[in-house]
C-alpha cells in the first residue's frame, strides 16, 4: 500500500549546499505514532518524505484524514505532501531512514528493544537499493534508548541484514524525540533538536535535515552516546522530582497538611522548581529511568536515586487508593473514575497509572466505573481489561474520583460533579482542581 496525502506548499530542499552532486533528498520515517507522524508531516514540507508503518489500519486511518493520537488534524493531513506506505517494499531508495518506534519495558521493568530491532531489520533490507542508486544513506534513531544501543545493538543488525558495512556504505545518527503529547506550544517545528552523527560529515547532514524543519535550531551533541544519554536523563530528572513531591505529599498527609497549600507558599521563591505530586504514567517519564538504571546495573553501578524515585512513583496509585478508601471510612462502595489516559486532554493510554488505581480500589472491594471522553474504548479493554462507560455521568455513586482533569470535567465544575454523588458521598480530586469543593485531595 502506497498513497499520497494531497499536496501542501514548499519545494523540496536539496543537500547540495553541504554535499554537492547528490540527488534531491528523500526521507523515510519508520513508525507513525505520536512521534513519527508529526515529524513526517513537518519533514514533508521540505523534503520528499514517505511515512512507513506496518499497521495497515493505521495507514488507512491516515488516508481517511483521521489521526487517532490527536497530534495532527484532518486539515493538516489533507494539505500535506507526505506519502504513506504500509509495505516497506514500495519505499523508494532514500538518503535518511528515521526510526521512531516505541521502546517500552517488559514485565520485569527491563528494556524491551524488540520493536527497534525489528525496525532496524526493516530498514536494513532497504539500504542496498539506496547504495546502488549512489546515495549514502544515514539511519537516524529517535526512539529513546540507553547510551550505546544505536551503535552497539542496532548497527550490527543493520549490517547483518543488509550485507553492508556501517561507516562505509551507510552511517548512523541519533536525534532524541521530544514530543509531548497534547502540547501545542512545544511542537517539532519550534523546539531545539539535539542531533548527532557517526562522523563530522554525517553530523552536518543530520543537522541540515533537522535544521530545515525547526525554528528552534539544532544542538550538535558531542557523540551519538551523548545524545542518547541526554534523552534518558531529561525524563529521569522529571521522574525524580515528581517522586520527591509524591513522597512529601505522603509525609504531609500524616500531618493533615495540604500539599497544595505548601506548594502555593513554596513557589513564591524564585528558584523553587514547579513540580507537583501525582500519578506518573505515559511512555516516557515512567519508562526511561528503567533504561538508564538497566545500563547502570550492567556497569556494576547501583542507581539508587533513579530506582528510589521509580519505586515511589510506581507505588503511588496504591497509596492513593488506600487514602481514598480511608476517607470513606474503610467502607467499599460504588466509584466513578473520571479519566483513564495518562494525562489530560489526550487519548494516550500508554502506561496509565489510573489503571493501577482502578485495580487497587477493586482489591479494596470497591466497584469502579470508568469514564473518559478522550480514550478509545477498545484500546482500554485490550490494554487493561477496563470497560469505558459512555453514559457513566448519568448515574450517581458513593465516590467520584477526578483522576485526569480533562477539559470536559473542569467545564462541569466541582459543584456539578458533586451532583453525581449519593447522599454522604465522597469527591476525591487528585490534582486539586476543584479546591474546597472536594472532600479529599493529594
Burial class (CB in 10 A: 0-12, 13-18, 19+), 428: buried
pLDDT block averages, 10 residues each, the chain of length 442? 43 37 81 96 96 96 93 93 96 97 94 98 98 97 97 98 98 92 82 97 98 96 98 95 97 94 96 95 90 97 97 97 94 97 94 97 98 97 97 97 97 96 96 92 90
Q: What is the pLDDT, as a whole number, of residue 283?
A: 83
The pLDDT of residue 3: 58
Q: Which residue has the cell 549490517?
A: 159
DSSP H helical segments within 364-413, as ranges?
A: 377-384, 407-412
Cell of 212: 530545515
Residue 182: its pLDDT value, please? 74
Strand-pair partners of 28 = 50, 97
CB 316 within 8 A of CB 433: no
**Whole-number Å distance between alpha carbons of 429 and 403:** 7
Per-residue model confidence (pLDDT) at position 17? 40
Beta partners for residue 140, in sequence order: 98, 173
pTM greater than the 0.85 cutoff: yes
Specify the pLDDT at position 186: 84
- pLDDT of 275 reads 95
Among the options 91, 154, 166, 284, which is catalytic?
Answer: 284
Residue 91 annotated in active site:
no
Close Cβ partners of 183 (under 8 Å, ≥ 6 residues apart): none
Q: Which domains does the chain have, with CATH numbers?
A: 2-221 (3.40.50.720), 236-314 (1.10.1040), 318-442 (3.40.50.720)
**Residue 17 buriedness (CB in 10 A; 0-12 / 13-18 / 19+):** exposed
Amino acid at each position: 500500500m502506497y498513497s499520497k496525502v494531497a499536496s501542501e506548499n514548499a519545494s523540496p530542499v536539496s543537500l547540495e549546499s553541504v554535499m554537492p552532486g547528490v540527488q534531491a533528498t528523500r526521507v523515510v520515517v519508520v513508525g507513525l505514532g505520536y512521534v513519527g507522524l508529526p515529524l513526517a508531516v513537518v519533514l514533508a514540507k521540505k523534503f520528499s518524505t514517505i511515512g512507513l508503518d506496518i499497521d495497515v489500519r493505521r495507514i488507512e486511518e491516515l488516508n481517511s484524514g483521521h489521526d487517532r493520537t490527536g497530534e495532527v488534524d484532518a486539515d493538516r493531513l489533507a494539505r500535506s505532501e507526505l506519502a504513506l506506505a504500509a509495505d516497506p517494499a514500495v519505499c523508494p531508495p532514500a538518503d535518511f531512514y528515521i526510526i521512531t518506534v516505541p521502546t517500552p519495558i517488559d514485565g520485569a521493568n527491563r528494556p524491551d528493544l524488540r520493536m527497534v530491532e525489528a525496525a532496524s531489520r526493516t530498514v536494513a533490507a532497504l539500504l542496498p537499493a539506496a547504495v546502488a542508486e549512489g546515495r549514502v544513506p544515514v539511519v537516524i534513531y529517535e526512539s529513546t534508548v540507553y547510551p550505546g544501543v544505536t551503535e552497539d545493538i542496532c548497527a550490527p543488525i543493520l549490517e547483518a541484514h543488509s550485507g553492508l558495512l556501517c561507516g562505509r556504505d551507510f552511517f548512523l545518527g541519533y536525534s532524541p524525540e521530544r514530543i509531548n503529547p497534547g502540547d501545542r506550544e512545544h511542537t517539532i517545528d519550534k523546539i531545539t533538536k539535539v542531533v548527532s552523527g557517526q562522523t563530522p560529515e554525517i553530523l552536518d547532514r543530520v543537522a541540515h535535515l533537522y535544521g530545515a524543519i525547526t525554528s528552534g535550531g539544532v544542538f550538535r551533541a558531542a557523540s551519538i552516546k551523548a545524545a542518547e544519554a541526554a534523552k534518558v536523563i531529561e525524563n529521569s530528572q522529571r521522574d525524580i522530582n515528581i517522586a520527591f513531591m509524591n513522597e512529601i505529599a505522603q509525609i504531609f498527609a500524616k500531618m493533615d497538611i495540604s500539599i497544595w497549600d505548601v506548594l502555593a507558599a513554596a513557589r513564591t521563591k524564585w528558584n523553587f522548581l514547579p513540580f507537583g505530586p501525582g500519578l506518573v504514567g505515559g511512555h516516557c517519564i515512567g519508562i526511561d529511568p528503567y533504561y538508564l538504571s538497566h545500563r547502570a546495573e550492567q556497569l556494576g553501578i547501583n542507581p539508587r536515586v533513579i530506582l528510589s524515585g521509580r519505586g515511589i512513583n510506581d507505588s503511588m496509585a496504591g497509596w492513593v487508593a488506600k487514602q481514598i478508601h480511608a476517607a470513606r471510612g474503610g467502607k467499599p462502595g460504588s466509584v466513578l473514575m473520571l479519566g483513564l489516559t495518562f494525562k489530560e486532554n489526550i487519548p494516550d493510554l500508554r502506561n496509565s497509572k489510573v489503571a493501577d488505581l482502578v485495580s487497587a480500589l477493586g482489591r479494596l472491594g470497591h466497584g469502579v466505573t470508568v469514564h473518559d471522553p478522550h480514550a478509545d474504548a477498545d484500546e482500554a479493554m485490550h490494554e487493561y481489561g477496563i470497560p469505558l462507560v459512555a453514559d457513566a455521568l448519568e448515574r450517581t455513586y458513593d465516590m467520584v474520583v477526578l483522576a485526569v482533569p480533562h477539559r470536559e470535567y473542569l467545564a462541569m465544575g466541582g459543584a456539578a460533579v458533586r451532583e453525581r454523588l449519593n447522599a454522604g458521598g465522597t469527591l476525591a480530586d487528585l490534582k486539586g482542581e476543584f479546591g474546597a469543593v472536594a472532600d479529599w485531595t493529594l
